């Protein structure tokens, strides 16, 4: 039987927490949508759609619904004609975005990436912009 010294509980993390994170991170467009909204602060569907070359409207709508259900974005509907909807990151969404930066840096430093980066055009570069709140 394994016995843990729980006097330093801050040194232990339950791996079960990764189940939810893995579900979020493994969706193809999720990270790009989170970054797009994060770069703008608030974004409309059409702004995100124009920025993410190759995503279909149905896929974008699905990703946005999923992110909202996970509490990572907020969907704000304005009572206007025509209706206006804007998306913004929640505190958890901004935390996810910040947590991904070290992973992006790590991936960029790998040897395999160096070979791919030589063929990477500007449309494939991910701009990450953080504002101090």
Chunked mean pLDDT (size 10), the chain, 133 residues: 59 74 84 91 95 94 96 94 94 92 78 65 61 54
**Residue 132 lies inside a defined structural domain of this protein:** no
Which helix (H) or strand (E) segment is 104 a member of?
helix 91-109
H/E/C letters for each residue in 25-64?
HCCCCHHHHHHHHHHHCEECHHHHHHHCCCCCHHHHHHHH
Inter-residue contact 68 to 75 (CB < 8 Å): yes
The rounded distance, in Å, linking the Cα atoms of 38 and 125 is: 16
Query: Can you give the pLDDT at residue 102?
Result: 85
**Residue 50 lies inside a defined structural domain of this protein:** yes
pTM: predicted TM-score of the whole model, two decimal places = 0.74
**Residue 116 lies inside a defined structural domain of this protein:** yes
φ, ψ of residue 78 to 5 degrees: the values are -100, 135
Q: Name the 3-class secondary structure at 107.
A: helix
Domain count, the chain: 1
Query: Can you give the pLDDT at residue 43?
Result: 96
Query: Can you give the pLDDT at residue 85?
Result: 95
Of 74, 76, 84, 89, nearest in space to 37 by CA: 89
**Residue 13 lies inside a defined structural domain of this protein:** no
**Residue 117 lies inside a defined structural domain of this protein:** yes
Q: What is the CATH number of the domain that holds 110?
A: 1.10.10.10
**Residue 111 lies inside a defined structural domain of this protein:** yes
**Cα torsion 84, 87, 91, 94: sign:** negative
Query: Can you give the pLDDT at residue 115?
Result: 66
Query: Can you give the pLDDT at residue 21?
Result: 80
Q: Domain residues for 35? A: 18-122
Query: Can you give the pLDDT at residue 46?
Result: 95
**Residue 108 lies inside a defined structural domain of this protein:** yes
Query: Can you give the pLDDT at residue 64?
Result: 97
**Residue 95 lies inside a defined structural domain of this protein:** yes
């Amino acid at each position: 039987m394994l016995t843990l010294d729980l006097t330093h509980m801050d040194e232990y993390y339950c791996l079960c927490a990764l189940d939810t994170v893995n579900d979020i991170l493994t969706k193809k467009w999720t990270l790009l949508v989170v970054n797009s909204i994060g770069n703008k602060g608030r974004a409309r569907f059409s702004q995100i759609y124009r920025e993410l070359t190759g995503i279909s409207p149905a896929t974008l709508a699905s990703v946005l619904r999923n992110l909202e259900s996970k509490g990572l974005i907020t969907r704000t509907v304005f009572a206007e004609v025509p209706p206006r909807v804007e998306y913004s990151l929640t505190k958890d969404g901004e935390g996810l975005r910040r947590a991904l930066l070290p992973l992006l840096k790590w991936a960029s430093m790998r040897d395999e990436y160096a070979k791919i980066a030589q063929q990477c055009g500007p449309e494939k570069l991910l701009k990450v912009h953080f504002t101090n709140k």
